[in-house]
Amino acid sequence: MTAPAARLQTSAVAAALGPLAVRFDVDVLERCVSTNSELVRRAEAGAPSGTVVAAECQTAGRGRMGRAWFAAPGASLTFSLLWRFKEGTVPYGLSLAVGVALAEALEQMGTAQVALKWPNDLLRDGRKLGGVLVELVPGAPHAAVIGIGINLRLPPDMPDEVKALAAALDADVPAEELLARLLAGLHGVLGEFAAGGFHAVRERWLARCAHLDMPVQILSEFSPPLAGRCIGVDVDGALLLETPVCVQRILSGDVSLRTP
């Protein structure tokens, strides 16, 4: 029988954050429905910017478009961060900026060649290493709950169809240090984003784009697949898709590298 994973220690996270510990209020839950749902609830009740909820187990973790997030205890790091921007702003392109922060932090810890797939996935060797789910707080569109999941390892009981598309970290980093390093990276990039929007980190995102200048399909719940060539992203994070007719700005959907 596999021993249960040790619970994240908030004191160890604070120690790893050093002076930045005062910017974050980290709460580790043994179990919750989803860290995003829990943090949205707290945000509506007035939780301050920098509030973090991490969970050992999510009973209904989710990604974009209602997809489930498979996470066995100890096999992934799942947490959500509340960030409040200047009132009156809408954080366009935030999920892409978050991807830059995560990729840079992971690279600094020894995980090489982290690529970014529009709009919210981290890839290694074409497989999903992690994901981002940004939700705006109802009634406060300047406040964002940023949900993050990173695969630490691929558990034996992971469904084969999921494992075939998944990747995990190389570096054997304690979960507390990993969380602290990711939060530190987010602190820096979110500061840049607050000052200059997505434009401030756009070139860094493009340098890691997994599908730049490649033929792709855009898949959506509400329209047929749209094929074209990815030629980058706009200053607000919209995907730029070159089609035989024109260049289209794509604001929602998923990128597929499987062309017709």
Q: Which residues are catalytic?
A: 64, 128, 258
Taking the C-alpha atoms of residue 109 and residue 115, their distance in angstroms, rounded to an integer, is 15
**Which residues on adjacent β-strands are paired with residue 140?**
137
Q: Work out the burial of residue 141: count CB atoms within 10 Å of its CB; fewer than 13 is exposed, 13-18 middle, 19 or more buried.
A: middle
Which pair of tokens denotes residue 213?
A: 């200048």
- What does the buried/exposed string (b/e) look like for 58-92 if buried means 16 or more CB atoms within 10 Å of the residue's CB? beebbbbeeeebbbbbbbbbbbbbbbbbeeeeebb
Tell me the two tokens of residue 179.
């969380």
The distance between the two most distant Cα atoms of the chain, rounded to a whole number of Å, is 59
DSSP 150: E
Q: What contacts 254, CB < 8 A, 6 or more positions away? A: 64, 65, 218, 219, 220
